[in-house]
Structure 1
Amino acid sequence: MKKVALALSALVVVLLLTGIFWLGPSYIIAAPKVATGMGAKLACSSKYVSGLTEQQAKVDLTSYSPLLAELNVDFDDQTQSVTTSFYGFQARASFHPGLGCAIDFTGVNARDSVVVPELAPAAGAWPLGSEVNTIEPDLQAVLDQMLIDDNAVGLESRALLLVQGDHIVAESYAPGIGPASQLLGWSMGKSVTAIAIGRLIYEERLGLEETDLFSEWRNDQRKKISVQHLLTMTDGLDFDEIYAPGKDVTSMLFTEPNSASFALQSPALYQPGSHFNYSSGSANILSALVQQRSGATLQTNVSFLDEHLYRPLGLTHALFESDAGGTLVGSSYFYASARDWARIGLLMLNRGEINGQRLLSKEFVDMASSPNGSENEKAYGFQFWLNAGDASLRWPNVPEDAYAAMGNRSQIVMIMPSDNLVFVRLGWTNGDYPTDANIAKVVAAARKH
């Protein structure tokens, strides 16, 4: 007890020095566990999934909070793990081939026996294969200059890519990043999870209007929540998306062994379908549903995604991380190269078809890119943000029919059907990114082409 008291006293001093003590006692109690868990997980994935340097991993981490600069971060290349410590508090995250990094919890080892099939590039041209010989010099110049301009003002853009029709017509990468770099999409993983749900629906393993989805919900109002309610985040669950220690989303991602199990405990707050509430919990519940309908184990889940989604898409450098409890973290932890993110965008642009195969129904894609029926915020489809649907456009200078997968640090896969374009931006922007202005510039250049 004395050691804990001393550690908490030291933490109070640190919080005072970093200027965030005012956040209150719940923050102080939760902060060490969240900070060490977040630090171990993100640093592990940065190095052992994305291949970034240890220095870059630390810089990326500390951009979130001055508190994280106080962590001691220890990389162990022999075990491919990262241990973080903070005034007596400690966390460890370890890498598993094909499943990435997860925070370690004593006695929780669901990932240990899982074998993830290795993705191998197919011969031939992109999108099925890896050959890209369709670069247009004028469009390439636009992306090259945009990358230079972004990073001259500290926006940390790492990959920019433009698809026109079925071809990559420009791609630009920051130093140390290339076509094989697996980069974190953060909440763009929600869109991938929605596509997995759409694949299950197309194969008639799941119904969009299906309810009574989980035994945990059988005896209360949550029994009425449908698959569509979860996809549109109108499920009515009371889940707090504020990114601060002690809140639902940080507890789920950085202190719990099973993200979906945590989210499933969320109580009902609104009538299903009536209220939009952006929620990483809803996305992880969808991830649990994918696992449930693809065989009920992590092994059957990764095998289903490999056979029915990744290989038909032509993915070559993609990885979906699971948590220690054995569920893919559908809200946040899908890593992929810019070219693979572009393949995902192209699938949606082509209304569910790619590489000569239909993976999703046209109707599902149309609904995924249409406004929801909530009373408060309609410009959100099936885990995709929409340009239109509310009183004003989200991106006023971008085509009205645009919609996007979006993630923290300004990750974006923008699909623009009327211009037959997909734009990918991956990076680590701490603050605002000029998404509207930059994409408008790209669209203008593509229209001249």
Structure 2
Amino acid sequence: MIKKITLCLSGLFIVLIAVAAFLGFPPAFILSAPGVATGIGSKLLCSSRFVSGFSAQQSFDDLVQYSPLLDLLEVSTDENLRVVETSFLGISTKTASYIPGLGCAVDYPAYTQRQELKTQPSVSSAELWPLGNKVANLRTDIQVLLESQVERDNAAGMNTRALLVVHNGSILGEAYAQGANRTTPLLGWSMAKSLTSVMLGNLELRGLLNLDSSPQFDEWLNDDRSNIKITDLLTMSDGLEFSEKYNPGDDATTMLFTSPSASDFTIARPFAHEPGARFNYSSGTANILSRIYLDVLGGPQQSYDDYKANIAEPLGFQNAVFEMDASGAFFGSSYLYASARDWARLGQLMVDGGAINGREIVTQDWIDRATAPNSTDNQKAYGYQWWLNRGNEELRWSDIPEDAYAAQGNRQQNMMIVPSKDLVIVRLGWTAGRYPINQNFSEIITAL
């Protein structure tokens, strides 16, 4: 019977290969699909269940929005060990494991760095936000507006789960839906890149890193990659060849879902063009930045301890988990899970010139550089892992002040900062299509 089932599944995969080939997908897509499917499946299901606390059903419903092929996954969840195993037609099987304080990662038997780390629990506080979780200045009109926007979004199928506004340093309103609340750590996807840039800015503040220097990777020392500066990496103008199309076999999916070390994968990418000349959006670049953070501090335990002491605790993070890959490096491109209030703390840091809760994390000079348009010839409205409103011929968000900038992520995650308004807006959700950021956020600004 088992042999018969296996033959049926193998036959189904052969049919899928034939269909993919007919549609013009390259061999790499076809051969990589099972491993990518089990990688994304085990990782996202594990984090959704054990970091965000969503039900197994909601976690799976979110997952399959990425591809109907993921509906073919066989999923097994051990609620006690907090391990998720996925299998794709019996061809590929992967597990992802949860570790308190570190979240989830795909398991690779030869990599034990995560398991060896000593972690620290987050400390909750009853102090006034942003130091603690007490909120004292809610505005009824803003609260009603946010609730109506969330209701409108979700009636249109946008799956907004958190919407929060901070003005003049105080939370004015917050609305939640679809199982999320004020303490739910929500996946920001590429919003993590913006925190990664802050982490390097903190190293600069402390005299541990020169952002105008070149990384000293052995693989780069004797070729054109030795000319890449950290600032080139921060502005995604490093010149490395990297594809961010998210098909199986693509650089991004290979790195995220089938590689034990995201930085090793990207460091090995070939040189494509002169650094600083051309913008190329690359999650791999953000993971090189995380590797620099790890190397400067001396290893996984040191980088974890430093992050807790100099980033997470000063920010006042209460419900945030920055996940690592199997090699023990922060997954700087993608995997920060944080409550809307915690994401807003990062935004408030930027509004307040680099200091929060009595601690300076980055300098105002660093913020000025991080939010200035770059000098590339194809996308100037991007800073140090921050999306800028200004820089191109037209504003990115036409009805929002020119000085606005944002951390953005897949599924339309957005944390927008408007310095001229002393304003932070956080929107988190699971939107497959486009989200009306310009319309909704300008509506909020008008109401202030």
TM, length-normalised to structure 1: 0.96
**Which has the larger displacement, 12-21 or 232-241?**
12-21
Which of 325, 328, 352 is the aligned partner of 2:327?
A: 325
Does residue 235 in structure 1 map to residue 238 in structure 2? yes
Rounded to whole Å, the distance in 2 between the matches of 1:325 and 1:20 is 38
Q: Which residue of 2 aligns with 1:251?
A: 254
Q: How big is each residue's C-alpha offset from its partner over 1:75-123, in whole Å with a ceiling of 9 and x where there is no partner? A: 1112101111111121111111111111111222111110121111234
| In structure 2, C-alpha distance between the alignment counterparts of 1:98 and 1:399, rounded to whole Å | 38
Report the Cα distance in structure 2 between the residues aligned to 1:177 and 1:130, rounded to whole angstroms. Answer: 16
Indicate the SS of the match to 1:122: coil
Residues 161-180 of structure 1 correspond to what in structure 2 (within 5 A)? 161-180=164-183
After TM superposition, give the deviation of residue 124 of structure 1 in Å: 1.4
Distance in 2, Cα, partners of 1:8 & 1:439: 49
Q: Is the 8 A contact 1:185 1:333 kept in 2?
A: yes
Give the distance between the partners of 1:416 and 1:399, measured in 2 at CA: 7
Q: Which residue of 1 aligns with 2:283?
A: 280
Quote the offset at 1:349 in angstroms. 1.1
Q: By how many angstroms is 1:231 displaced?
A: 0.5
Distance 1:362 1:419 in 2: 17
Which has the larger displacement, 14-23 or 37-46?
14-23
Rounded to whole Å, the distance in 2 between the matches of 1:248 and 1:15 is 20
Deviation at 1:18, TM superposition (A): 9.4
SS of 2:253's equivalent in the other structure is helix
What is the CA–CA distance in structure 1 between the aligned matches of 2:16 and 2:323, rounded to whole Å? 32
Q: Which digits, 9 at most, give the CA deviation of each residue in 1:147-200, with x for residues without a partner?
A: 100011110000000000110001001142111100000000000100000000
Q: Report the 3-state secondary structure (helix = DSSP H, G, I; strand = E; otherwise coil) of the residue aligned with 1:393.
A: coil
What is the aligned residue count? 444
Task: Give the aligned partner of residue 206 of structure 1.
Answer: 209
Aligned CA distance change for structure 1 residues 18 and 159 (closer, same or farther; 3 Å): farther
CA distance in 2, matches of 1:273, 1:135: 44
- Out of 381, 384, 387, the residue aligned to residue 383 of structure 2 is 381
Corresponding letter in the other structure for 2:127:
G
Corresponding letter in the other structure for 1:231: L
The answer to whether the Cα contact below 8 Å between 2:263 and 2:284 also exists between their aligned partners in 1 is yes
Distance 1:221 1:25 in 2: 30
Equivalent positions of 1:41-440 (< 5 A) are 41-88=43-90, 89-294=92-297, 296-440=298-442
Distance 2:386 2:212 in 1: 19
Deviation at 1:20, TM superposition (A): 8.8
CA apart distance, 1:376? 1.3
Instruction: Indicate conservation of the 8 Å contact 1:156/1:429, yes or no.
Output: yes
Secondary structure at 1:111 match in 2 = helix
Structure 1 Cα separation of the partners of residues 229 and 247 of structure 2: 29
Q: Provide closer, same or farther for how the CA distance between residues 438 and 223 of structure 1 changes in structure 2, counting only shifts above 3 A.
A: same
Unaligned runs of 5+ in 1: none
**Aligned-pair distance for 1:4?**
9.4
Q: Deviations over 1:266-309 (max 9, x none)?
A: 11111111111000010000000011112x21111110010001
Helix, strand or coil at the partner of 1:344: helix
- Assess if the C-alpha contact under 8 Å between 2:159 and 2:178 holds in 1: no
CA deviations 1:206-234 (Å, max 9, x no partner) are 01101143222111111111111110011
CA RMSD of aligned residues (A): 1.8
Distance in 1 between residues matched to 2:109 and 2:8, nearest whole Å? 25
Distance 1:243 1:175, change over 3 A: closer
* SS of equivalent to 1:149: helix
Does the CA-based 8 Å contact 1:18-1:67 persist in structure 2?
no
Give me the whole-angstrom Cα distance separating, in 1, the residues matched to 2:10 and 2:208.
50
* Whole-angstrom distance in 1 between the partners of 2:22 and 2:428: 29
User: In the aligned structure 2, how far is the partner of 1:389 from the partner of 1:212?
Assistant: 27
**CA drift at 1:356:** 2.2
Output one character per residue of 1:232-281: Cα deviation in whole Å (capped at 9) or x when no partner. 01111111111100010100000011111111101111111111100001
Cα drift, residue 23 of structure 1: 2.3
Secondary structure, in 3 states, of the residue corresponding to 1:131?
coil
Distance 2:335 2:62 in 1: 16
Is the contact between residue 260 and residue 281 of structure 1 (CA under 8 Å) also seen in structure 2?
yes
Further displaced range: 169-178 or 416-425: 169-178
Question: Hey, what's the Cα distance between the residues in 1 that align with 2:446 and 2:40?
Answer: 40
Which of 6, 14, 35 is the matching residue for 2:37? Answer: 35
Scaled by the length of structure 2, the TM-score of the pair is 0.96
The 1:5–1:27 alpha-carbon spacing in structure 2 relative to 1, beyond 3 Å, is: farther
Deviation at 1:373, TM superposition (A): 1.0
Distance 1:213 1:377 in 2: 27
Structure 2: segments with no counterpart, 5+ residues: none
Deviations 1:368-401 (A, max 9, x none): 1110111111000000000110111111111111
Q: CA deviation at 1:357?
A: 2.0
Q: 1:15 to 1:167 in 2, by over 3 A?
A: farther
